[in-house]
Structure 1
Amino acid sequence: PTFGGWGIPMATDIAFALGIMTIAARQAPLGLVVFLTALAIVDDLGAIVVIALFYNTDLTVSALFLGLAAVAAAFVLGRFRVRFLPAYIALGLVAWLAFLQAGIHPTIAGVLLGLSIPAAADPEASLLHKLEHALEPWSAYAIMPIFALANAGVAISLATLDMTSPIFLGILAGLCLGKPIGIFGAVFVLCKVFHLQLPGNATKSQLAATGMLGGIGFTMSIFIASLAFTDSAMLDLAKISILSASILSGLFGTAFFKLQACFGGAGEKK
């Protein structure tokens, strides 16, 4: 019954990970900050794809076809550089409702619609740039807090936390061990194979600390947990396990950044 939670440790919470990095590693290379941002975005996109493929209900082909047709129409508009925003909004609403009826989580419609909106090097000519800046305050100060609070609603008590449960152990291992090992290992191997520098010419210690911050799951992880577990007790345990693992990941990453700064981590071989 706990196997459905396998996707919970996938996502990295962008806001919390970057916030902690800003506080704990003020001297970290800018390239490392950019790397963590890109990593968190790709993690969330991957999580959305997993939600669409593995956490959906029975598929309705006709609704899926309608949703894909709406997304395709949005891509055609983007291809011809159409900058009439209401057209994209209308197609996005059709795609969102169609994906919902098809049994695919509608967040995937939002991701696809975002990819269809035309961008340009000149911010004044870029519809995507203008839309991003128009939505940024709504996203940062309204949508994200509401999303976080709505999905994190759980009574925190010692009785809720069962440290011997497969749910707790799996989430803890996935976020606190799997994420830093996977991030550091993948980047290190790719840099060796392709003879590249670490992101931002960072040290191995800085990369390891960044990998630890990648274990902060929170919002998207809690969202996946709500889809994975219908039993309220299991869901509450999953939520408090995510919170515990995210706090530990943040503490480990902060401590590692502080230690490598104190003991001259900047001088080690890259």
Structure 2
Amino acid sequence: MTSDRPRVVLFGRNADDADTIAVTDVLRQETVGGALMLTAAVVAVVWANLGPDSYQRLLHLPLGPLDLAHWAADGLLAIFFFVAGLELKRELTVGALSKPAEALVPIVAALCGMVVPALIYAGINLALPDGRPQGWAIPMATDIAFALAILGLVGSKLPTALRAFLLTLAIVDDLGSITVIAIFFSHGFSLLWFVGALVCAALWALLQWRRISGCYVYVPLGLLCWWCMYSSGIHATVAGVVLGLLTSSSMSKGPSYVDRWEHQWRPLSAGFAVPVFALFAAGVPVSLDRLGIVFTDPVGLGVVMGLIVGKVVGILGGSWLTARVTRAELAGDLRWSEIASLSLLAGVGFTVALLIGDLAFEGDPATQEVAKTAVLVGSVIAAVLASISLRRRTRARLRD
């Protein structure tokens, strides 16, 4: 007796077997990547609370020039940003961002969705005693993997234009977050190392222009660029997005470098790099007292209010104002109620928000824990509210 379920193989796909699914294909699914990240985050929180000493030993276990926590934040996360850079390059050349007039509403919405949360955080921390305004960038970031996974799970019946809106918004958000990290959270700048990184990036672009292929060339060059960027004092993840943006999207025979490399690197990013980063970044002690501190400490309150209130006000308000004062319109048959639900979903800040929290309060572990806990709490609240709202929007669509 044979099973009707498809077989899963570890490497590749058998072209003669339509029922065979490669693990890499599974990892390219947004819901799978989001589930792995969520699982890693839950494991981190449980581990940090049941075995805090062993968890801290793991974080600070040295491996070469860095400890494991820094390898995760500076190294593995560069893979995530490389894939984000590839996706951004494709969208800029042939995708949603290639025609600015069509992308104007989500672009402005993304910018407003970054500025308003930052202003809310800064306002709270400037107004309250013991405020620490240097964490203003934490609630700016939307986690593209989690957001798209939630939309796929609870909003699959909604128009595909809603996903395109979220994707455009998240890509602009990622670009803005990377820019903020490069400008405001880089320390000990070294011009010589930075020039080395630029030379590596220029050579990368030249090889692309000459259509030279082969991982034996690009992998060592990418690692060298990463090391030069890290040594320059600029956060090493910037190297990932720079190389992604410099990758060629032109096609001669077969898929472009952008499409081919995104296809190859996304499973590693979603299935390993981001979950491992979540495992090392999300481990914070959780108790009723600590959760209470989130809503009383200026840092925690600023992060939570920025993610939940700031994202909604910024994205929905920015979209409405753009449509009101310009000729831009919502794509397809999107409704404003669906944009409101999407703005709630954008409050799910995780990967980049945790990274910025560590960078903003470097050398202050207690405040880092408050910021991390606030990111987790705010993201969970935003995810729950967005899921309820998206389900209501789905039922409304089905009734029509």
Instruction: Kindly indicate whether the alpha-carbon contact (under 8 Å) linking 2:158 and 2:394 is maintained by their aligned counterparts in 1.
Output: no
Partner of 1:82: 212
1:251 aligns with 2:381: no
Cα 1:147–1:122 shift into 2, 3 Å: farther
Where does residue 328 of structure 2 map in the other structure? Answer: 196
Task: Confirm or deny that 1:44 pairs with 2:177.
Answer: no
**Equivalent residue in structure 2 for 1:185, among 308, 311, 317:** 317
Whole-angstrom CA distance in 1 between matches of 2:240 and 2:255: 22
Query: Structure 1 residues 170 and 265 mapped into 2: Cα distance closer, same or farther (>3 Å)?
Result: farther
Q: What is the RMSD computed on CA atoms of the aligned residues? A: 2.1
**TM superposition score normalised by structure 2:** 0.63
User: 1:199, 1:152 → 2: CA distance?
Assistant: 36
Matches within 5 A, 1:167-178: 167-178=299-310
Contact 1:9 1:175 in 2 (8 A): yes
Q: Secondary structure at the match of 1:26?
A: coil
Question: How far did residue 121 of structure 1 move?
Answer: 4.5
User: Structure 1 residues 98, 14: closer, same or farther in 2, change over 3 A?
Assistant: same
> Which deviations, in whole Å up to 9, do the C-alpha atoms of 1:189-240 show, x marking residues without a partner?
2233332331342100000100110010011101111111132221111111
Report the 3-state secondary structure (helix = DSSP H, G, I; strand = E; otherwise coil) of the residue aligned with 2:289: coil
Counterpart of 2:194? 64
Instruction: Give the Cα–Cα distance (whole angstroms) in 2 for the partners of residues 237 and 190 of structure 1.
Output: 36
1:226 matched to 2:325: no
- For 1:157 and 1:13, the matched residues in 2 are separated by 25
Q: Residues 215 and 131 (structure 1 numbering): CA distance in 2 closer, same or farther, change over 3 Å?
A: same
Which position in structure 1 is the counterpart of 2:119?
none
- Could you say which residue in structure 1 is the equivalent of 2:81? none
Contact 1:148 1:219 in 2 (8 A): yes
Whole-angstrom distance in 2 between the partners of 1:134 and 1:264: 36
- Partner residue of 1:18 out of 142, 148, 159: 148
Residue-by-residue CA offset, 1:44-92 (whole Å, 9 max, x unaligned): 2221221111111121111111111111121222233332333332322
Secondary structure class of the residue paired with 1:124: coil
> How far 1:118 sits from its partner (Å)?
1.6
Matched, 1:143 2:276: no
Q: For 1:116-175, what per-residue CA distance to the aligned partner results, in whole angstroms no more than 9, with x for missing partners? A: 222235782422222211222222211121111111011211222211111111101211
Residues 9, 217 of structure 1: 8 Å contact kept: yes
Question: Partner residue of 2:133?
Answer: 3
**Paired positions, count:** 267
- Specify the alignment match of 2:243 in structure 1: 113
Normalized against structure 1, the TM-score is what?
A: 0.91
**Residue-by-residue CA offset, 1:101-124 (whole Å, 9 max, x unaligned):** 110001111111111222235782
- In structure 2, give the amino acid aligned to 1:173: M
- Measure the CA separation in 2 of the matches of 1:129 and 1:107: 21
**Paired residue type of 1:243:** L
The more displaced of 116-125 and 60-69 is 116-125
Q: Is the 8 A contact 1:88 1:117 kept in 2?
A: no
Deviates more, 1:1-10 or 1:252-261: 252-261
Match of 1:199, SS state, is coil
Tell me the amino acid that sits aligned with residue 253 of structure 1: A
Q: Distance in 2 between matches of 1:169 and 1:125?
A: 47
Task: Find the counterpart in structure 1 of residue 28 from structure 2.
Answer: none
Q: Residue 207 in 1 paired to residue 355 in 2?
A: no
Identity of aligned residues (%): 36
